[in-house]
Structure 1
Amino acid sequence: MAHSPLSRRRLLVCGTATLFTPAILQAQSVSPTPNRRNTSSFVTQDWRDHFDTLGKAAIVADTTSRALHFWSGDGQTYKMYPTSVPRSDELTKRGYTQIVRKRVGPDWTPTQSMIERNPELKYMPPGPGNPLGTHAMYLTWPAYLIHGTHDTRKIGRLSSDGCIGLYNHMIEALFEIAPIGTQVRIL
């Protein structure tokens, strides 16, 4: 009887080793890159930890868990949305502000610091290429917004130049329920 170079036992051992090799290598590697998960690790927030009253409404944008929390002024509505957050601490403005203006179909003009980093950036009218998506809510801080994005890969990631970004369908829903004067805290 001829001996087959590929026995059933050898095939089973090689197949099992092949299946587990990526997991073993991944477990042994240490990556210096930040976590790449998109919409996990939400941390529950309570508005009372951040505001004395709900006022017209309240928003807490948690840059650590990458989630935006909304409470209506009567306390009956609570929503949580996954967000994109600033790429670095230098671009992150933290503290208290409020919504002062809202716009459907916002246009976009890059800030001076954005142009310094990338001189090819130019004004963009509303539309599919616009980084502000379909809706924008402007804060008392100049150039800081809560807005949508057409690039859904950005949600859940460190990807903005300072703004808080949401999926377009989620910013549209938030836009409808968050009145001008909504208090905002960015953590």
Structure 2
Amino acid sequence: MTRPKSPHGRRAFLATGAAFLAAPALAQSTYTSPFENSTQVERDLSTSSRRNISSFRSLDWRPYFSNTANGAVLVDTTSRALHYWSEDQSIYKLYPTSVPLTEELTRLGRTSVVRKVVGPEWRPTPSMKERNPEWPDYVGPGPDNPLGTHALYLSWTYYRIHGTHDTRKIGRKSSNGCIGLYNEHIAELFGLTNVGTQVLLI
């Protein structure tokens, strides 16, 4: 791919925007996931970045929720963004996310936070083990854990909003069904949400 002659061209602007979205992860950019060779990721990152930047924008909660009781989380799997509104609507947050690899792995609809865990443990689901038999049966809290530093467990079995130590996954189709955030962002969202916070995936 030929680079633009001018550093001020559209593609340079988009590259700058992509770097901005990834800024919280710069210190961890050399991390290598133990699951790297077993998880498919998108090949064309430039296309992904262009689409994400153009659609990464703030939204109003009203088209998606009848109220914001207990707080509200909207996950837009198309723009790969998570939106949060506090119950009194005084706090609004917008975070880039990773989303499931395929439509078959994606679950859409309404759910809620049923459990919050700092330093989550991870066990692959039976379907994950079938697809990736080389994966371990258990990973404890720490830098090799695919759930990162914090996890919000949803009412749907096996589905979570969680962090990731592999920051390359954010902004991409890279998960087996869950929604991933930078560890810095999930820690902030963890502090804002409650058990019972509404969650909608679209």
> Is the pair's TM-score, using the shorter chain for normalization, greater than 0.5?
yes
C-alpha deviations, 1:80-120, integer Å up to 9, x for none?
00000001110000000000000000000000111011101
Deviation at 1:23, TM superposition (A): 5.2
In the other structure, the counterpart of 2:157 is 142
In the other structure, the counterpart of 1:80 is 94
CA distance in 1, matches of 2:169, 2:67: 32
The letter of the residue matching 2:196 is G
CA distance in 2, matches of 1:145, 1:97: 11
In the other structure, the counterpart of 1:92 is 106
Would the aligned equivalents of 2:58 and 2:94 in 1 still touch at CA under 8 Å? no
Structure 2: where are the runs of 5+ without partners?
5-42
Report matched runs for 1:92-131 at 5 Å: 92-122=106-136, 123-131=138-146
Structure 1: where are the runs of 5+ without partners?
1-20, 25-31
In the other structure, the counterpart of 2:193 is 178
The letter of the residue matching 1:53 is N
CA distance in 2, matches of 1:160, 1:111: 13
In the other structure, the counterpart of 1:44 is 58
In the other structure, the counterpart of 1:6 is none
Secondary structure of the structure 2 residue equivalent to 1:93: coil
In the other structure, the counterpart of 2:26 is none
Percent identity between the aligned chains? 56
RMSD: 1.8
Deviation at 1:121, TM superposition (A): 1.1
CA distance in 2, matches of 1:182, 1:175: 11
Deviation at 1:33, TM superposition (A): 5.3
CA distance in 2, matches of 1:159, 1:112: 18
CA distance in 2, matches of 1:107, 1:160: 17
Deviation at 1:37, TM superposition (A): 1.4
Would the aligned equivalents of 2:120 and 2:147 in 1 still touch at CA under 8 Å? yes
The letter of the residue matching 1:148 is G
Deviation at 1:43, TM superposition (A): 3.9
CA distance in 1, matches of 2:69, 2:122: 30
CA distance in 2, matches of 1:60, 1:50: 8
Report matched runs for 1:61-80 at 5 Å: 61-80=75-94
Deviation at 1:171, TM superposition (A): 0.2
Alignment size in residue pairs: 160
CA distance in 2, matches of 1:114, 1:164: 16
Secondary structure of the structure 2 residue equivalent to 1:48: coil
CA distance in 1, matches of 2:2, 2:58: 34
The letter of the residue matching 2:155 is T
Secondary structure of the structure 2 residue equivalent to 1:119: coil
